[in-house]
Structure 1
Amino acid sequence: MSGSTGTWRSTTSHWGAYRARTTEAGELEIAPHPLDANPSPLLGNVAGSVRHATRVRAPAVRRGWLDHGPGRGEGRGREEFVEVSWDTALDLVAGELDRVRREHGNEAIFGGSYGWGSAGRFHHTQSQLHRLLNLAGGYTASRGTYSHGTSTVLLPHVLGDAATVLYRADTWDTIARHTDLVVAFGGLALKNVSVTPGGTTGHATATALHALAGSGVELAVVTPLGSDVPAAPNARWLPVAPASDVALMLGLAHTLLTENLHDSTFLDSHCTGFDTVAEYLLGSDGTVKGAEWAAERCGLPADEIRTLARRMASGRTLVTVSWSLQRTRHGEQPVWAGVLLAAMLGQIGLPGGGFGHGYGSIGHVGEDGPLLPLPTLPQGHNPVPAFIPVARIADALLHPGRSYDFDGAALTYPDLRLVYWAGGNPFHHHQDLARLRRAFERPDTVVVHETHWTATARHADIVLPATTTLEREDLGSGRRDTHVIAMHRVLEPFADARDDYAILTGVAERLGLGQRFTEGRTPREWLAHLYGEWRDRLADSGHEAPDFDRFWADGEWRLPAEREHPTPFAEFRADPERTPLNTPSGRVELFSPAVAGFGYADCPGHPTWLEPESDEDHPLWLIANQPGTRLHGQGDVGATSQGAKIGGREPITLHPADAAERGVGEGDVVRVFTDRGACLAGARLDDGLRRGVVVLATGAWFAPVEDPRRPGGTLCAHGNPNVLIADVPTSRLAQGCAAQHTRVQVERFDGPLPAVDSLRPPPIATA
């Protein structure tokens, strides 16, 4: 096993750095990094996943595509695959890339490849693929993320940029020293902070949140779910109704305004548009947004809303909004309303005050690691200007040539003939999976690199087996991480798997681009090259890192600590004339003439209450949150994830009273359904959530069968909530993902239980 038997080797992952080794018996052992006081439970999935039966063993081609060539793909996700040689597979991929670009142009190639394939800086699959496609003439790209794609479009209109808010947040240490009150809309779920893109050497958020109590910082946590509230004596749960956060925010803002608790000086000097918002709060549309009005919608008493507003105005307050709230219909509004509250308090730019976004949503927000550049594989330039918002992939495939709005522009979906997906799984991220299956029938060809037989691989034409992180070498480090990690190879590649660099090198050579793609370097030579360039940049800024050989032998290097962690917008606060924001006014735009001018009814020009969906036939609010047992769908076949299943299905949490009304008991298998589809899940009862709310985490591998209660309908036998959720955007402004909420009904399922076929390979033949 690469000479690593019995020797602990360093590596990292999106859920943290760790050590790995193989025993004399060939078993894989995993141990947390010695510096990690709160190692992620997701480490428990690693050993059982890397050699699971669902690993892709060899290049495979869908039978219908192999027999009949490119064309409509009604058989995707249904037909058997035929294993072929690497030469055959690479010839087919290169030939199809060449055919599509010659016959339809490079715009017909979709290389979005959105995903979390690897924590490595070199074997970052998306970067590898984009590098090749750029050399081949370009491709239609995707823009934004499923995680915070709404905010990245909205925040530039309001604060001038999104990166400052998303990536340069005040640290927990700054909050402990300066903050009196944190008001966390959307919760502070500790399960989410296991994960950071690129990994983290030590998970510090859990410790930091508990330490806040000793610093006297209060936490007011606004969420329907008690599980989103840290178990700390300083944390108070405000159990609001789903999709009501904006109503609460506006009720708080109205109290600040009418009780003269707002900072009019800051609003005049650093903001524009407050007069328009104030008129709206006072009822310019015929409705006063007072505490009583808010109470009717969010479920908190009006007196409690007024008391919270007064407490917010009495000291240093951080208003933070989770990413989950902008992953909903009209998801722009809670973010904008959060900025409104922070501006009315006059604390934007103060340490530990103002507006935060993503605390409790992901691990790096609040961490105190340095904000240093990291080694990056150059991707080159994409000469194709066409793109789609990342969450509109099904629309683009189903409706080529259709026009749509995006951030003030009228765009047109390109005619996508070839989908090349590597390192990602849209059947995890996307909504209305029955619709996505229809969309995946439309392209001529779908090519996928995958480690396992995920739903995306099963809906492809050509599947190329990729190595996992433990089967190759790389460099690892994440945002705000404290270390760079040498990711040593621990295992030999599984069966006939190759790393993505080797796969794409083979394609590049067949297109006459081999030398330009590789620049003559092996993977190890690329690691040394990227590390060396990065080391030189650090030296220019006064930091001396060890040479590559020393670093590789040591297994890691601690990054130099920053002398200080500047508070976002501090310079703007100090002098808005000299350091204006990158908005048209140079100020915080509480009313945006630009957004108002777009004329979008679903995203007006200032924070606005827009009624959430109502559905008498589906009375329960489903919250489809991130799982605590895996990263999205990664590791679903591992021990931690499988150990949480109930009856072999993903667990769904119900309030005991809601369960009793439906004759559902602990451990029962239930059918969860909407008009779009249904899924089976295992019931878990918990009174730590609001009545009328159920929780079903994302990421169970999609296992579609015909719904026995609805002939012709799709049922996921495993419990993937995305089969339930409408494929609609947040608004015409951001076209963001709105996957967090939907209305559902739940009933006990007493029929024969269908098998979860996603946990075994599809039918495979040998050529």
Structure 2
Amino acid sequence: MKNNEDCKDPSGVNRRDFVKLSGMVAALPLIGFKFAHAGGKISVASQEFPSSPENIVPTCSSFDCGGKCDIRAHVQEGVVTRISTRPDADLDPEMPIMRACVRGRSYRKFVYHPDRLKYPMKRVGKRGEGKFERISWDEATTLIADNLKRITEKYGPESRYVHVGTAVSGSPFSGDTMVRRLLNQTGGYLNTYHSVSMGNTAAATPYTYGAAASGNTLDTLADTPLVILWGHNPNETIFGHTNHYFQKMKQNGTRFIVVDPRYSDTAASLADQWIPLLPSTDNALMDAMMYVIITENLHDKAFVERYTLGFDERSMPEGVPANESLVAYLTGAKDGVKKTPEWAEKITHVPAQTIRQLARDYATTKPAALIQGWGPQRHNCGERTARGSTLLATITGNVGVKGGWAGGYGGDSSRKFTAGVEMPDNPVSKKISVMNWVQAADDASKITPADGLTGGDKLDSNIRILFSLAGNYLANQNPDIHQAVKVLEDDSKIEFIVASDLFLTPSAKYADLLLPETSFMERWNIGESWGTGNYLILSEKLIEPQFESRTDYDWIREVAGKLGVEKEFSLGRTEKDWIVSIWEKTRESMPEEKLPTFDELLITRRYLFKDKPHIAFEANIRDPQNNPFPTPSGKIEIFSKRLYDMQHPEIPALSHYVPAHEGPEDELSARFPLQLITWKGKNRANSTQYANPWLKEVLEQKLWINPADAMQRGIAQGDSVRIHNDRGVTLIPAEVTQRIMPGVVALQAGAWWQPDENGVDRGGCANVLSSARITALAKGNSHQTMLVEVVKA
């Protein structure tokens, strides 16, 4: 049989020539070609292939991805023909810039996708139908200006809202930032607080340490003998440079234990031991670990005695009744229940002997780092879980020491980022949690301080005009999509919605005005790393915008002109001028760094900070007399009097296990016996790049289900299954695998919602099933806590 490369089709064109020509065409998506077939040969009828020299430009994206990997755009005659990445030889060991991951290598297909939005359009059908007609940019910006004037005059500035948009949050200059600047200059807007990513743990951690940032730089873990990754999956989330350091530590002999209901790629790559537990039962496992550590006398007595409050009855604050300390709780002095491994096994499904082994390993290995990811805190018990990790770190003496980890939020306060856009003060002082926006659009009078309102007792208006720029949260990432779209569909509530994006996302379908945004390759910016990165990369405009797409700044500036504030808004700056200004302000704010000038940055393309290793709370531990913890007591507060005074059953002063709503002990589990969790996949950042066909090939959207649960339901590998609860239904193929524990199923997060005529999702979007319940302390999201049933479709 002939080699497939030499097989010819009936036209006489062999496969090798066809593949070669197809590759050239794919590399030039902006150029229109006409192909003629004559005598068995293919000729280009209307356009020659470019023959100019190739320019290779180091750059990065502005997506909500902490890696800020170094991608190399190969530009030829105004077209990005391919993407490569930093050569291995170009590595600074003190701050390794990431090489491109699979997402980074696929950017060209994302930028040159044929389905990109091309023209400004206004809605002509019902909200959500996705029916639009083309209009001019002048008409578009006039519509925005006129509606801003009308709605502000009628309802006041509290009626104006800018929704979270994560597709550009990896940079200091973005459309959502600039529209906020414009709104502040014309009366203000209803602002929000809380991070959907990690807001619960950031709010809870200060009740232990007095500060949110409790993480170290990862170079301090180089010699750590034991790392426990608790719900942390950096291999797939591409969480900054974490995996670089972890792989290096693995090679040097560090032992990794992964605690996660799902055997993630991180577990497959790093774990010496995988410990699956039922979602939302983390605190029960933590309680039992602390019981073992304390009853077996493995805790760091000197550390506890010197630095903590609330460990035992002798160290409790005044005004608190007996048996509220950690020791009293664990030994059952108050409720009569000892928090033994056997007690926790029934709740968590982790064997008691495994719990003992984990507790002993953590307590006797010096130092050890228990690092918690952001997934566990996205449950309605997430605040308790976050504080639970701080208690474990405290009683083992792993706070403020090299090689240890304080638990909790895990952010690093030593990070340096660019200066931002000059932002005028917002005349509106009231704020809502980002989780309150649906209620604020439906009936704002029901949002009170108890629900998370700050800066006032009540709102004076519903949300009446909404901007969603580079965001797919409205009708895709929002918990309980059906609840959200019911409000969105009613245009008597939110009267005008502006969406700016690259694609007609599920959220963009609910716009009244739909605008074609530019990709990061078509505008100027500066890439900021987060997580464990510590550098800045220039993100240069590489190509001209396609069709009639415009940067958000460009059209917002035009709106400002029609509102009579263009001069104050733009300061006479072009987009590039703003980037230059931001860079120069960054240089001025840190003279010790000696950052290059912007002209020098155009040559160097990046700046690496040479910081010293950072250990959270090191000064507080080294010299507590002169550096007390910023808590009311000046100590690490195992018991928080501030939380105790709230007298809220879901916010215990001593973080411990409380059965979660829609957890495995909820009565609802009789109807919906499976716990559904989601994970961030390696082929997209949230829902960004979902439309990229190359990345769809990387990972197919399937429901992970354990063979025991599948057998009980008559489900085989690849079967279409119906996942449902009282909030919604989605249909998706089944992946029957031992990589998810019994009683739990998992879907990759960020799939686009694709409802059929009956409202049944056909895209595997978990947010039709997730809950909009807010957490008790942070008023944050808890969309990981959901009970479902799965049946063969």
Pair in the same fold by TM > 0.5:
yes
- The corresponding residue for 2:316 is none
Check whether the contact 1:11–1:486 (CA below 8 A) recurs between aligned residues: yes
Following superposition, the deviation at residue 506 of structure 1 comes to 0.8
Following superposition, the deviation at residue 651 of structure 1 comes to 1.7
Which of residues 718, 721, 725 in structure 1 aligns to 2:763? 718
Following superposition, the deviation at residue 306 of structure 1 comes to 1.9
- The corresponding residue for 1:210 is 247
- The corresponding residue for 2:496 is 445
Following superposition, the deviation at residue 551 of structure 1 comes to 1.8
Q: Which moved more, 1:24-33 or 1:594-603?
A: 24-33
Which of residues 413, 416, 430 in structure 2 aligns to 1:372? 416
Separation of aligned partners in 2, 1:644 and 1:18: 19
Separation of aligned partners in 2, 1:689 and 1:560: 40
Following superposition, the deviation at residue 37 of structure 1 comes to 6.3
Secondary structure of 2:471's counterpart equals coil
Which of residues 319, 324, 330 in structure 2 aligns to 1:281? 330
Task: Give the 3 Å change call, closer, same or farther, for CA 638–44 of structure 1 in structure 2.
Answer: farther
Task: Give the 3 Å change call, closer, same or farther, for CA 408–595 of structure 1 in structure 2.
Answer: farther
- The corresponding residue for 2:559 is 507
- The corresponding residue for 1:70 is none
Larger Rg over CA atoms: 2
Check whether the contact 1:320–1:358 (CA below 8 A) recurs between aligned residues: no
Which of residues 104, 108, 118 in structure 1 aligns to 2:155? 104
Check whether the contact 2:79–2:543 (CA below 8 A) recurs between aligned residues: no
User: Is residue 2:284 matched to residue 1:223?
Assistant: no
Separation of aligned partners in 2, 1:501 and 1:10: 24
Check whether the contact 2:258–2:273 (CA below 8 A) recurs between aligned residues: yes
Following superposition, the deviation at residue 213 of structure 1 comes to 3.0
Following superposition, the deviation at residue 26 of structure 1 comes to 5.3
Following superposition, the deviation at residue 411 of structure 1 comes to 5.2
Secondary structure of 1:116's counterpart equals helix
Check whether the contact 1:322–1:357 (CA below 8 A) recurs between aligned residues: no
Separation of aligned partners in 1, 2:536 and 2:778: 35
Which of residues 745, 756, 777 in structure 2 aligns to 1:705? 756
- The corresponding residue for 2:121 is 60
Task: Give the 3 Å change call, closer, same or farther, for CA 446–292 of structure 1 in structure 2.
Answer: same
Check whether the contact 1:59–1:85 (CA below 8 A) recurs between aligned residues: yes
Check whether the contact 1:422–1:448 (CA below 8 A) recurs between aligned residues: yes
Separation of aligned partners in 2, 1:293 and 1:640: 48
Following superposition, the deviation at residue 311 of structure 1 comes to 2.0
- The corresponding residue for 2:197 is 147
Q: Which moved more, 1:35-44 or 1:338-347?
A: 35-44
Q: Which runs of 5+ in 1 are unaligned?
A: 65-74, 197-203, 360-364, 708-713, 750-767
Task: Give the 3 Å change call, closer, same or farther, for CA 531–209 of structure 1 in structure 2.
Answer: same
Deviations 1:426-485 (A, max 9, x none): 133311100010122331211122121111211111122211101112222323535432
Check whether the contact 2:124–2:131 (CA below 8 A) recurs between aligned residues: yes
Separation of aligned partners in 2, 1:379 and 1:33: 35
Separation of aligned partners in 1, 2:407 and 2:780: 20
User: Is residue 2:405 matched to residue 1:382?
Assistant: no
Separation of aligned partners in 2, 1:259 and 1:282: 12
Task: Give the 3 Å change call, closer, same or farther, for CA 24–466 of structure 1 in structure 2.
Answer: closer
Check whether the contact 1:112–1:141 (CA below 8 A) recurs between aligned residues: no
User: Is residue 2:786 matched to residue 1:735?
Assistant: no
Deviations 1:218-247 (A, max 9, x none): 222111111254445762111222222111
* 1:259-658 paired onto structure 2 within 5 Å: 259-275=296-312, 276-283=325-332, 284-314=334-364, 315-357=366-408, 371-404=415-448, 405=450, 412=458, 414-426=461-473, 427-440=475-488, 441=490, 442-479=493-530, 480-538=532-590, 540-541=591-592, 543-552=593-602, 554=603, 556-562=605-611, 564-612=612-660, 613=662, 614=666, 615-644=669-698, 646=700, 650-658=701-709
Which of residues 133, 138, 143 in structure 2 aligns to 1:87? 138
Following superposition, the deviation at residue 504 of structure 1 comes to 0.9
Task: Give the 3 Å change call, closer, same or farther, for CA 375–8 of structure 1 in structure 2.
Answer: farther
Task: Give the 3 Å change call, closer, same or farther, for CA 310–518 of structure 1 in structure 2.
Answer: same
Task: Give the 3 Å change call, closer, same or farther, for CA 601–288 of structure 1 in structure 2.
Answer: same
Check whether the contact 2:202–2:408 (CA below 8 A) recurs between aligned residues: no
Task: Give the 3 Å change call, closer, same or farther, for CA 55–549 of structure 1 in structure 2.
Answer: same
- The corresponding residue for 1:21 is 74
Separation of aligned partners in 1, 2:707 and 2:201: 35
Check whether the contact 2:740–2:746 (CA below 8 A) recurs between aligned residues: no
Which of residues 218, 222, 227 in structure 2 aligns to 1:172? 218
Task: Give the 3 Å change call, closer, same or farther, for CA 628–555 of structure 1 in structure 2.
Answer: same
Check whether the contact 1:505–1:517 (CA below 8 A) recurs between aligned residues: yes
Separation of aligned partners in 1, 2:120 and 2:514: 6
Separation of aligned partners in 1, 2:452 and 2:497: 29
Structure ranking higher on relative contact order (CA contacts 8 Å, 6+ apart): 1
Check whether the contact 2:447–2:453 (CA below 8 A) recurs between aligned residues: no
Secondary structure of 1:161's counterpart equals coil
Separation of aligned partners in 2, 1:412 and 1:601: 25
The amino acid that maps onto 2:790 is V
Separation of aligned partners in 2, 1:325 and 1:233: 19
Task: Give the 3 Å change call, closer, same or farther, for CA 321–188 of structure 1 in structure 2.
Answer: same
Separation of aligned partners in 2, 1:229 and 1:305: 21
Secondary structure of 1:704's counterpart equals coil
Check whether the contact 1:189–1:230 (CA below 8 A) recurs between aligned residues: no
Secondary structure of 2:129's counterpart equals coil
Q: Which runs of 5+ in 2 are unaligned?
A: 1-29, 32-49, 91-96, 313-324
Following superposition, the deviation at residue 695 of structure 1 comes to 1.2
Separation of aligned partners in 2, 1:419 and 1:114: 12
Task: Give the 3 Å change call, closer, same or farther, for CA 743–463 of structure 1 in structure 2.
Answer: same
Secondary structure of 1:274's counterpart equals coil
Following superposition, the deviation at residue 499 of structure 1 comes to 0.3
Separation of aligned partners in 2, 1:568 and 1:229: 25
Check whether the contact 2:257–2:272 (CA below 8 A) recurs between aligned residues: yes
Deviations 1:500-539 (A, max 9, x none): 110110111111110111101111222222222222333x
Secondary structure of 2:285's counterpart equals helix
The amino acid that maps onto 2:161 is F
Superposition TM-score, scaled by structure 1 size:
0.87
Following superposition, the deviation at residue 151 of structure 1 comes to 1.4
Task: Give the 3 Å change call, closer, same or farther, for CA 239–411 of structure 1 in structure 2.
Answer: farther
Separation of aligned partners in 2, 1:27 and 1:322: 36
Deviations 1:282-312 (A, max 9, x none): 2212322111111111122222222222222
Which of residues 695, 700, 707 in structure 1 aligns to 2:746? 695
Secondary structure of 1:254's counterpart equals helix
Following superposition, the deviation at residue 720 of structure 1 comes to 0.6
User: Is residue 2:274 matched to residue 1:237?
Assistant: yes
Secondary structure of 1:212's counterpart equals helix
The amino acid that maps onto 2:107 is V
Check whether the contact 1:428–1:698 (CA below 8 A) recurs between aligned residues: no
Check whether the contact 2:202–2:409 (CA below 8 A) recurs between aligned residues: no
Separation of aligned partners in 2, 1:659 and 1:9: 50
Deviations 1:591-627 (A, max 9, x none): 2222222232222222121113231222222111112
Secondary structure of 1:249's counterpart equals helix
Q: Which moved more, 1:740-749 or 1:566-575?
A: 740-749
- The corresponding residue for 2:57 is 9
